């Protein structure tokens, strides 16, 4: 079984949702008469990353998961974003990276040996990496970004988090 389906489509969808939240936050700030870039430094707790780092981490989680599982190189991003427009561009870049991969790239991904810097001298199988590390880490940063925006008054809710559904006629 290829890990393309449980990795790329859900991460792509949720990154697109994240881009929509950032757009909604920008509109919210503009409508209220304040600089939308104030959101970039917002955080839930003093010892937690601000929105900027949450978005960067979410994008990195997606690109590294897809790259490690497909055996493709991940693009480099220097983490220099400081504005909402730059964060939206970072999300678009991560989606474009996922768009550049296809199911064939993921053949054998479930048994691929994934090495991580903190697992010196060890590896984790692709299937375990996806379920135990990549997806939880991705959703942690995604949810935290959502919570920061929501906490700061941006009118987003569960439907915005979940996004569109693939429906079929009865």
What is d(CA 38, CA 50) in angstroms, rounded to the nearest whole number?
Answer: 11
| Sole residue written with tokens 């389906």 | 5
Instruction: Break the chain into its structural domains and give their ranges.
Output: 4-162
- Cβ neighbours of 133 (radius 10 Å): 18
pLDDT value at position 55? Answer: 98
Q: What is the pLDDT of residues 4-34, one digit of tens each?
A: 999 999 999 999 999 999 999 999 999 999 9
Query: Which CATH number is correct for 4-162, 1.10.10.10, 1.20.120.450, 3.40.50.1820, 3.30.565.10?
Result: 1.20.120.450
Structure tokens at 138: 């991705």
- Distance in angstroms (rounded) separating the CA atoms of residues 60 and 10: 15
For the cut 90, the answer to whether the pLDDT of residue 1 exceeds it is no
pLDDT digits 0-9 by tens, 32-58: 999 999 999 999 999 999 999 999 999
Token pair of 151 as six digits: 């906490």
């Amino acid at each position: 079984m290829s890990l393309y389906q449980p990795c790329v489509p859900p991460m792509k969808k949720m990154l697109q949702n994240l881009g929509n939240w950032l757009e909604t936050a920008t509109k919210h700030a503009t409508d209220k008469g304040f600089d939308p870039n104030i959101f970039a430094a917002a955080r839930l707790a003093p010892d937690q990353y601000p929105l900027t780092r949450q978005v960067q981490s979410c994008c990195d989680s997606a690109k590294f998961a897809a790259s490690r599982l497909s055996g493709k190189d991940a693009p480099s991003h220097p983490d220099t974003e400081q504005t909402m427009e730059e964060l939206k561009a970072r999300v678009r870049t991560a989606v474009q990276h996922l768009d550049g991969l296809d199911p064939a790239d993921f053949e054998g991904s479930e048994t691929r040996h994934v090495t991580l810097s903190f697992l010196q001298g060890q590896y984790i199988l692709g299937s375990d990496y996806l379920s135990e590390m990549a997806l939880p880490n991705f959703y942690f940063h995604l949810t935290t970004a959502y919570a920061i925006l929501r906490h700061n008054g941006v009118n987003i809710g569960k439907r915005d988090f979940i996004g569109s559904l693939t429906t079929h006629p009865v």
